[in-house]
Amino acid sequence: MTILYPAKDGLYVNLTNRCPCSCTFCLRQNQDGVYGSDSLWLEHEPSFEEILEELKKQNLTQYNELVFCGYGEPTERLDVLLQVAAYCKRACPSLLIRINTNGLADLIWKKPTAQQLKGLIDTVSISLNAPDAEEYYRLTRSKFGFKSFDAMLQYAKDCTKYVPNVVMTVVDQVTTLEEQQKSKEICDSIGVTLRVRPYEE
């Protein structure tokens, strides 16, 4: 099964297939892998030891980033994610570490979680998806319901205290220019960067 896969100038970590959302535009609904990887559907969730074994086969210095992003929400396994990040920070201090997340970690773990990222994570990329709770829920179909939108925004605010670079994203093909402008206003109010990303990324 695919635990690690290279993409662009990064090495991606596929931690889990669990996710509290079922986004209407999610790539995993239409294909088994991305960036030429084999299937990202896991036979089981890899242990820290299994991930470490795969990492030790890699020359980490050839990558600019280690990215927690697979066919699931990486903060579903926040404990293992932090273990892996800590190992990589020791093994290759120049390697930047990013989490691509839906921003619902606090709802998953029923407590604030952003502080745990301090000193380990360089970038958090959060899927904003829409500028209001109703449209957000329509797109993401989050199991946590309408409260997901405000929880995601609070998580983004919290991350700005502990993570050097916080980005929020919307997908170009599922948002209008007006929605993108409103999303930018939200990001400006939080103090983070908006990225309008292509559907296929």
Angstrom distance (rounded) from CA 77 to CA 170: 24
CA dist., res. 38 & res. 120, Å (int): 28
pLDDT at residue number 24 = 87
Beta bridge partners of 126: 101, 168
Residue 61 CB contacts under 8 Å (≥ 6 apart), including other chains: 92, 94, 95
What are the structural domain ranges in the chain? 4-197
Architecture of 4-197 per CATH? Alpha-Beta Barrel (3.20)
DSSP state of 158: H
Instruction: Look at residue 197 in the predicted model and tell me its pLDDT.
Output: 86
CB burial string 83-121: b at 16+ within 10 A, e below: bbbebbbeebeebbbbbbbbbbbbbbeeeebbebbeebb
Q: With pLDDT > 70 as the criterion, what percentage of the chain qualifies?
A: 93
Sorting pLDDT into bands at 50, 70 and 90, what band is 33?
very low
Let me know: does 100 contact 94? Beta carbons within 8 Å.
Answer: no
pTM of the model: 0.92
For the chain, strand residue ranges (E) read 4-7, 10-13, 65-68, 96-101, 123-127, 165-171, 193-197
Question: pLDDT by residue (tens digit) across 134-183?
Answer: 999 999 999 999 999 999 999 999 999 999 999 999 998 889 999 999 99
CA dihedral of residues 201, 101, 125, 51 (deg, nearest 10): -80
